[in-house]
Homo-oligomer: A and B are copies of this chain.
Amino acid sequence: MKTGRLEAFSDGVLAIIITIMVLELKVPEEGTFEALKPLIPKIISYIISFMYVGIYWNNHHHLFQIIEKINGKVLWANLILLFFLSLLPFSTAWMGENHFAQNTIAVYGFNLLLCALAYSFVLNTALMLESKDSLLAKAFKNKTKGTISSILYLIGIILSFFYPKISLFLYFIVAMIWLIPDKRVEKNII
């Protein structure tokens, strides 16, 4: 089974997820700068989630560039990933709407954690199809980044009830870990 249509479908879903989040920025009825102020927390949470969906799209793109064959399991693992990503517009808007209240930060972190676990599930089902010497196996042998991310999410979820700002900072750190290009992987891919 080729990966073409899976990529096209995932691109479609990711493009919609990243774009419909802007629909939660409800247009203020007044045309003053004052009226834009209550939108600031929403815009901040939109930026964070835009970055995250961008990171997932970017990694998904990289991953399926070196995957050669897939089976039904990879298709379903990918759908589970898309499901948890599709909840991001909700958890993002809830966090923005409630000015980063403690519970909303915990739920947002939990959503990010579920996405991360689903992503490694996609990776593992794909690895099971390839030999240990394959390009994929080599490129993704080192799972440190994934493990660190999950641990930081978990700490973030727990801390959200005590120091919500630190949680947000941790989520931001994880995004940065993924944003800064991973030389080792790039080398293996190209």
Contacts and interface: CB of A to CB of B under 8 A. Distances in A.
Report, nearest first, the 5 A-B pairs whose CB atoms are least far apart.
A12-B15, A31-B101, A31-B98, A16-B19, A72-B181
Contacts of A7: 5, 8
A60 to B, nearest CB: 9
Interface stretch (A81-89, A127-135, A142-150, A166-174): A81-89
Interface string A1-40: 1000111110111111111101111011111110010000
Copies, count: 4
A151 to B, nearest CB: 24
Majority SS of interface residues in chain A?
Answer: helix
B87 A9 contact: no
A22 B49 CA distance: 16
A93 B27 contact: yes
A61 to B, nearest CB: 5
A107 interface: yes
A63 to B, nearest CB: 12
A163 interface: no
23 contacts: A5-B7, A5-B61, A6-B61, A12-B14, A13-B15, A13-B19, A19-B20, A20-B22, A22-B87, A25-B87, A27-B93, A27-B94, A27-B97, A28-B94, A31-B94, A31-B98, A31-B101, A31-B102, A47-B83, A50-B86, A58-B72, A58-B75, A72-B181
B50 A83 contact: yes
Interface in A105-140: 107
B86 A18 contact: yes
Given A54-B76, A72-B186, A97 B29 contact: yes
